[in-house]
Structures are given as structure tokens and as C-alpha cells.
Chains A and B, each alone.
Chain A
Amino acid sequence: MVAGSDRRGPGQMSNETPMSRHHTRHVHPDPPPDTDLSAAVAALSADSGPTVIVACHDCDLLNRLPGQSTATILCARCGAVLRRSKPNSIERSLALTLCGLILFVLSNSFPFLAMKTGGFIQETTLLTGIHELWKQELFGLATLVLLTCVLVPLAQMTGLLYILAPLHWGRRPAPFAARVFRLVQEVAPWGMMEVFMVGILVALVKLGHMATIVPGVSVFSFGTLIFVMAAAFTTLDPPLLWDRLDLRR
């Protein structure tokens, strides 16, 4: 089928246009088409250039998106964001991910915070707190902190690198890249470095009046890492990536 001329019969959407970056399939309404529905579908797929049909993830409404657009598109019914335009997303995310990995190494190799009280210095790294919790036999808690502040962010960054690098250098997608990307998205709510940073601020105020707290190199690289990671994920364009990672074509 040729882009820009995808004609559709009533009650049937057909949309394997080469232009459509999205996920669309032939639809044969198996139950006898009720007239209301087929009219609605016809309206939904009225001819206006290459369009893409997407189901809203929050309310399941089918929305028609223009094939090429720089606007942010919201669901017509519940207002969820369906698509955002992101120029050069692969290159930008890749650059930011690499930067993030460097900062991650820095954050884990230098002292984090040090406390000075009367000639006594207590120096810590990022992992000291987790180690202390473990020693107090709070194993679950130690694991939770380790996962949310160290392992999940690391997994997200290496996952993104694994997906983006082959795409950027024009190779075929890496093996299982689609699965890796799915996992990267699924673990995202459990990466909580920015929450940890707020925790640091609170702890600093709490201890500020009884001792001098000296921030180490690690605090600064960790703080920067948060912004770099956030930027890497905002520049990421999941619909585009899903399309590039789709090995079925």
C-alpha cells in the first residue's frame, strides 16, 4: 500500500503504510458490525494522509494520530499524552546515556560524604549505608536501597546503551533489543536516585548542627547523574524505538 493513499472500507481499518511508524494491523470486526461502530471507525479512519491508530494506555480509546507531526498529542477522551515529537532522539539519548555511565562510575569510586566532629572524620561512600543496614540484619531494606539507587539505574543505562548504540551506527538492532527495552521501561519506576538526593539534603540538615558534613566528589557526580538520566529518558522516543526494533518486517 502506498503512503498517503490508504483507503479504507467502512468497518475496516487497513494501515500497513510504510510511513506509519506505529503499530497497526488489519481489523476484521468479527462480531457482526453494528452500524454505530462501523460509522465511528469510518470517521476515525477518514482519509487525510498517512495516519496511525493508537489505543490510549489509560482509557483504551482509539485515537487517530497524524503520521508526521511535531505537536504533542493527547488522548481525546482522558487527556493522556499519546505522542511527543523528539528530534534526533537516538543520538541525544545515546550521548546522555554514555555521559550517565561515566558519572555512575565516578559516583561509585569517590567518597560520598564525610562527617567531622572534634578531629574525628567518618568518611562514607555511596555503598556504606547499604552495608550498614545489612550489618544491622535489615537485609530486605539493604536490598531495596541497593536496587533503587544503584542496580536499577545501572541496568537502565546499560540497557539503553545496548539498544541505542547499534541503531546509531546503522547496524541491525542488537539481539533481544526489544525485550531489553521492555525491561528498561518496566523497571523505570524503581530507579529512585532523585529521591535519594532529597534524602541526602534532609540528612545534611539533620546533622548540620552537631557536626561538619563535607560533601565528596561523589555527591556532585551523583547529583549531575540524576539530571543526565532524566534528560536521557525525556529525549527517548519510545514509538520510534519500537518501530526500529521491530524485527517482524
Chain B
Amino acid sequence: MNGSAVTARRLGLINCHDCHLLVEAHQVAIHPRCPRCGAHLHARKPNSLARTWALVWAAIILIVPANVLPITITSALGTKQADTIMSGVIYFMQTGSWEIAAVIFIASVFVPFAKLLILVFLLLSVRCRTAWRPKDRTTLYRLTELVGRWSMVDIYVVTILVALVKLGAVATIEAGPATVFFASVVVLTMFAAESFDPRLVWDVIEEDA
């Protein structure tokens, strides 16, 4: 795009993150809260890049045990069986319910990895100060914000299974250690998406123009 875009920042205005009131920056220097809704005001999310990187790295580390360790432990008639996320997907595919396999695969494997990839890509693109397709990158950002929550499906499945299947010696399902790691990944990536400021994508282009 061009460098002559009239943004709130160029006019010395701060857009309240919550209620979208435009406040003059020099007023904010005296009183840092939004006069209408009381939110903390800042022209850009504070330390956006550093925070997002930190959360993304934490998620990248935790996504490994989340996928390797068992997410459910089923005990039936004396035998114990541990299932990981992927073995659950394969089980559904083999028993013919491929729709459910697809739902779990997309929500628990595809979405978390895709989200992390997109966030890393956005962070790198801001660091490289590229002017490449800012509109599409903003759309990508909105997408990560939107889909992240759906990864929680597997956590809820475990919650329901744990509640329903407790028939003493006959059959019990326990939550495996991966549940904690997986839930952490979902929460961390949600926070990461929230701490990334898409306006940075446009800022670097304006500054370089």
C-alpha cells in the first residue's frame, strides 16, 4: 500500500482497544485509561512481538508431549490401553467413522500446528519488514483468532468420557498426561493470537514508505 494512509497514530490518536473511542495521545500520557470504558490505552499492544514470540515458543515446546503422551487411558477387564491424539484419529478411521476422525484431526492436530505456523510467519514477516500482501496477512491473523477455540474439542471429549465411563472393574477411562499439555497449548496459542497486534503489519509498510 502507500505511506500516506491516514491512521489514528499519525494523527496522534489512540483507538481504545475495547470500545473504539478515539482519544488524543497527549491525554493518555496524563490519564492512561479510556474515559468511556476504563480500558488501558496504548497505541499498539505493549511488547506485542516479544510476548507473542514467548507464548509461541512455549506452545511449540508443549505441543510435543501433547502429541506423544497418551490423552486417555482406558482400563477394561484388567487390560489397560493408552491412546494418543493420533491413535484416536486412526481408531475412528479404522472403525469407519471418518467424519469423526476428520473432526478430531482438524481440531486437535491441524488447527494447533497451522495456528503456530501462521503466528510464526506473521512474526517473521513483521521482523523482515516485508510489504508482501498486508491485507491477506491481516486475514490470516483474523483466521487464527477465530479457529483457535475449536482445538478444545478433544479436552471436552475426555471430560465427557471420564464422566460417563466409570463402571468399576468393567471399564474406566482416565485422563492421560497429554491432556494438561494439550490444554496448555490451546490456551497459550489463544493468548499468543491475542497479544499479536495486526496493526504492526501495516506500521512497517508505512514507516518504510
- Residues of B contacting A189 in the complex (Cβ-Cβ under 8 angstroms): 145, 148-149, 190, 194
Chain B residue nearest to A203 in the complex (CB): B160
Number of A-B contacts (CB under 8 A): 221
Q: Does A148 lie at the interface of the complex (its beta carbon under 8 Å from any beta carbon of B)?
A: yes
B36 is contacted by which of A23, A53, A138, A144 (Cβ under 8 Å)?
A: A23
- Residues of B contacting A140 in the complex (Cβ-Cβ under 8 angstroms): 180, 183
Per the 8 Å Cβ criterion, residues 166-191 of B in contact with A are: 166-167, 170-171, 174-175, 179-180, 183, 187, 190
Q: Does A178 lie at the interface of the complex (its beta carbon under 8 Å from any beta carbon of B)?
A: yes
Docked pose: A80 CA to B199 CA in angstroms: 12
- Residues of A contacting B167 in the complex (Cβ-Cβ under 8 angstroms): 117, 120, 122
What is the CB-to-nearest-CB distance from B114 to chain A, in angstroms, rounded to a whole number? 17
Docked pose: A77 CA to B5 CA in angstroms: 9
- Residues of A contacting B148 in the complex (Cβ-Cβ under 8 angstroms): 189
Residue-wise, chain B 27-54 has the 8 Å CB interface mask toward A (1 for contact) of 0000000011111000000000000000
- A132-B162, A192-B152 are contacts. A27–B157 as well, Cβ < 8 Å? no
- Residues of B contacting A128 in the complex (Cβ-Cβ under 8 angstroms): 163
What is the CB-to-nearest-CB distance from B43 to chain A, in angstroms, rounded to a whole number? 8
Are A80 and B142 closer than 8 Å at their CB atoms? Answer: yes
Are A198 and B103 closer than 8 Å at their CB atoms? Answer: yes
Stretch of A86-94, A179-187, A228-236 on the interface side: A179-187
Chain A residue nearest to B12 in the complex (CB): A30
Stretch of A35-43, A97-105, A154-162, A164-172 on the interface side: A35-43
Docked pose: A72 CA to B37 CA in angstroms: 24
Docked pose: A131 CA to B163 CA in angstroms: 8
Per the 8 Å Cβ criterion, residues 212-249 of A in contact with B are: 213, 238-239, 242, 245-246, 248
What is the CB-to-nearest-CB distance from B15 to chain A, in angstroms, rounded to a whole number? 4
* Range class of the A interface residue count: 35 or more
Stretch of B55-63, B123-131, B133-141 on the interface side: B133-141
- Name the residue among B20, B134, B179, B198 with the largest chain A CB count within 10 angstroms: B20
Docked pose: A190 CA to B149 CA in angstroms: 8
- A138-B180, A199-B153 are contacts. A55–B20 as well, Cβ < 8 Å? yes
Q: Does A29 lie at the interface of the complex (its beta carbon under 8 Å from any beta carbon of B)?
A: yes
- Residues of A contacting B142 in the complex (Cβ-Cβ under 8 angstroms): 58, 80
Per the 8 Å Cβ criterion, residues 57-76 of A in contact with B are: 57-62
- Residues of A contacting B15 in the complex (Cβ-Cβ under 8 angstroms): 55, 57, 60
A-B contacts besides A61-B7, A203-B157, 9 pairs, CB < 8 Å: A37-B4, A40-B4, A62-B13, A122-B165, A136-B174, A186-B18, A198-B150, A201-B100, A206-B157
What are 16 sample pairs from A and B whose C-beta atoms fall under 8 A apart? Answer: A53-B22, A55-B13, A55-B22, A58-B142, A59-B138, A62-B6, A62-B11, A77-B135, A117-B170, A124-B160, A140-B183, A189-B145, A192-B152, A195-B149, A199-B156, A199-B160
Residue numbers of A with Cβ under 8 A of B are: 22-25, 27-31, 36-37, 40-41, 44, 53-55, 57-62, 77-80, 113, 115, 117, 120, 122, 124, 128-133, 136, 138, 140-141, 144-145, 148-149, 178-179, 181-182, 185-186, 189-190, 192, 195-196, 198-203, 205-207, 209-210, 213, 238-239, 242, 245-246, 248
